[in-house]
Amino acid sequence: MLAKRIIPCLDIKDGQTVKGTNFVNLRHAGDPIELGKLYSEQGADELVYLDITASHEGRKTFTELVKRIAQEINIPFTVGGGINELSDVDRLLNAGADKVSINSAALRRPELIDEIAKNFGSQVCVVAIDAKCENDTIHENGDPMIDGDWVCYVNGGRVPTQYNLFDWAKEVNERGAGEILFTSMNHDGVKKGFADVALRRLADSLTIPVIASGGAGAKEHFRDTFINGHSDAALAASVFHFGEIPIPELKQYLASEGVSVRL
Amino acid sequence: MNLAIIKYNAGNIGSVENAVRRLGIEPLVTDNVELIQKADRVIFPGQGEAHSTMAYLKAHGLDQVIVNLKQPVLGICIGMQLLCRHSEEQDTDCLGVFDVDVKRFIPQRHEDKVPQMGWNTIEDVKSPLFEGFSDKEFVYFIHSFYVPTCDWTNATTDYIQPYSAALHKDNFYATQFHPEKSGKVGERILTNFFKIK
């Protein structure tokens, strides 16, 4: 049976991981490769490396880093951040990334999705969607109730667009993306669980896998997004980086709750 | 050992190169016919689309070279599908080492996403590739087309229906999954391939 995936996300600036970690056994907690290897050994199913550098020099550093990750890490990894055109995709895939994640660029010019799918295959194209539920009515389980008001944002969640989450996700699917990475801005950083109502609606209406992002704070949240949210994978950062949820423990827990995971 | 990785217009070839280097083998990534024929082992890797990759192989005379290889050959993902007779992907005639046709996954329920992307178990393993394996080990898959179970199936996986996760016939071995991305389990499969007599 296909396993539900657990995906740690590493933010990279100038070749180093940004968010601190409390892994005492790491010689260099900021070394993205050492951290990636540790996660891989702990049972992470994939890794996401997000370049948050803005400068041209930073981009070059990131590309060099991607080459080293590809040489040393033996599980699949996705890279994202600052991918604006086909040549960026080509550069990062050539460096050894398995998939690329595009976000604002796809909303500005949706044809980029078709171009990536046609030139490199759907399987390499992850479309990340940051969306916010503008209707504040909170359901008792913590999920915003009204799905219709989910608005997509660009520029790292700073600028709203005209796009509705579900319409955009459908278009992304139809244009040939291989996967959707949905971050709920309402849930991100709150640590009270993923946006499972919206995730379920996405997962049930799309033909491609959906990765849940934003809101992980406890092991139960992962169970809920897999069972109630129908998510195919779940991504988190701080709960892994700060050792709040060790991956082996999380996977044992999920298995005991009847979720198919790779042990 | 002298390992050739066939270079053609498919993606993901560098991943295989990196993986065998991690195992201490310096591969030759080449489309040179003579170098491929002389190698002790050949890996035919890749991720891509059947029609354009097949057209490239024919244009470069690699189609005839591959089917006539006598040393152990390992096809991976699109490499495995191209070793079959025909693919539904763009109605493509393939190399025909394995007399079986490649089909497209047809989703049956909403949880059947295509491509299959992620870790799934292999079962009923039987071939030197899986020496020392227990049943139901996880490997990494990413594909929209599949090879049905057939006479040459030597490992199966269940996704929408049971299908061939690996094939074996004479000196030809093939895996639908990516050993180069399958962590320690994948490394054992590659090591086993290098040990085949």
Q: What is the ipTM of this complex?
A: 0.91
- The number of distinct structural domains making up chain A is 1
In chain A, the residue whose alpha carbon lies closest to the alpha carbon of B48 is: A121
Task: Using alpha carbons, list the distances in angstroms from residue A234 to A9, A53, A167, A237, B195.
Answer: 10, 24, 22, 10, 38
**Confidence bin at A140 (pLDDT 50/70/90):** low
Give which of A90, A172, A262 to mutate to test B binding, by max B Cβ within 10 Å. Answer: A262
Instruction: Encode pLDDT of B78-100 as tens digits.
Output: 999 999 999 999 999 999 999 99
In chain A, the residue whose alpha carbon lies closest to the alpha carbon of B50 is: A121
Q: Residue A263 domain-assigned?
A: no
| Residue B189, min C-alpha distance to chain A (Å) | 13
A144 Cβ contact partners less than 8 Å away, ≥ 6 residues apart? A133, A135, A136, A137, A138, A150, A186, A195, A197, A198
* CATH number of domain containing A100: 3.20.20.70
Q: Could you give the CA distance from residue A127 to residue A180 in angstroms, rounded to a whole number? A: 5
Judged by average pLDDT, the poorest of A57-61, A223-227, B89-93 is A57-61
Q: Could you give the CA distance from residue A161 to residue A150 in angstroms, rounded to a whole number? A: 11
Q: Residue A197 domain-assigned?
A: yes
Q: Which domain holds residue B95?
A: 3-195
* CATH number of domain containing B61: 3.40.50.880
Q: Please name the residue ranges forming H helices in chain A.
A: 32-42, 56-72, 86-95, 104-108, 111-120, 165-175, 196-205, 219-227, 238-241, 247-256
Look up residue B166 and give its two tokens.
Answer: 């690996």
Q: Could you give the CA distance from residue B120 to residue A133 in angstroms, rounded to a whole number? A: 34
- Rounded to 10 degrees, what is the CA torsion of B5, B7, B11, B12? 20
Residue A162 has what pLDDT? 93
Residue A141 has what pLDDT? 58
Q: Residue A117 domain-assigned?
A: yes
Q: Residue A84 domain-assigned?
A: yes
Q: Which domain holds residue A66?
A: 5-256
A/B interface, count of CB pairs below 8 Å: 90
> Residue B44, Cβ neighbours under 10 Å: how many?
30
> Which of the residues A45, A51, A88, A130 is marked catalytic?
A130
